[in-house]
Amino acid sequence: MAACMNGLGFIIVSSAVAQNSRKYVQLLRTRHRIRYFDRCLADINRKYSGWKETTSASKEILFSSGKPLKISTGKLARFADGCSVAQLGDTSVMVTAVSKTRQSSSSFLPLVVDYRQKAAAAGRIPTNFLRRELGPTEKEILTSRVIDRSVRPLFPEGYLYDTQLVCNLIAVDGHNDPDVVSINAASAALSLSDIPWNGPVGAVRVGMIDGELVINPTRRELVQSSLNLVVTGAEHNLVGSSHVAGVASQSILIQNLHQARTMERPFE
């Protein structure tokens, strides 16, 4: 009986020592991680000593419909080559532009545009089974293509560096479509970066309601509109356009393009 009690006491003492040893090891690991994190922060501060001195700037463009488009920079994603946040109404999009410093071996411009509409922008949790963001939807793919077609023609010939534009939807109000906002934000991000690009460009959406042109119509107005035209233009020429409508005469289309070019002037 005494031998059993002594063995039980030894087991209890051994388990307590082992548990304390585990806690001690975890404490050492935590301290090591904190010190490593502090060293990383010190290296970043030494490498980017002028990072905190970056000034922020913003500009507002007023459309004929009375809606201002606000473009700001200097507050978010400062480590990117270029970053801008464009806001129309309560819809806000952040676009970052980065590029490699070593030329790729491809024979074409390796430009990647990644546009994502996250559920957090609407204050929601993804409603799928996994409760997380999945692959890009058809709308996101088409919007990425529109942004790509708007900025790709203005890269200089022979520029073969891997370049990426990431468009993150920060907030959405359900009234203003973020695709046109993303094109303007991408133009500002590329213009602010050191990436060679013959921009900037300006993009607007043109609708027609009861025979009258509407610049940047809301989603409710698009339901009544007989025209859905997205026009992107540079300083001296038209870069691209996306037309979603039924039958439109040539005179109406030319009139819409002329009106869109007039509204794009403040961007240049």
The pLDDT tens digits of the residues spanning 159-206 come to 889 999 999 989 888 888 899 999 999 999 999 998 998 878 888 888
Percentage with pLDDT > 90 across the chain: 19
pTM to 2 decimals? 0.71
**Do residues 59 and 74 touch, judged by C-beta distance below 8 A?**
no
pLDDT tens digits for 93-104?
999 999 988 888
Query: What pLDDT shows up at residue 1?
Result: 45
Residue 118, both tokens: 């996250």
* 55-59, 70-74, 85-89, 129-133: range with lowest mean pLDDT: 129-133
Cα-Cα-Cα-Cα torsion 250, 139, 118, 121, nearest 10 degrees, comes to 30
Q: Is 208 exposed, middle or buried (0-12, 13-18, 19+ CB in 10 A)?
A: buried
**Do residues 82 and 190 touch, judged by C-beta distance below 8 A?**
yes
Residue 19, both tokens: 């548990």
Residue 250, both tokens: 């040539």
pLDDT at 258 over 90: no
Rounded to whole angstroms, the Cα distance separating 195 from 98 reads 8
pLDDT at 83 over 60: yes
pLDDT at 215 over 90: no
Residues in CB range of 136: below 8 A, 6 or more apart: 114, 115, 116, 144
Domains of the chain in sequence order: 54-267 (3.30.230.70)
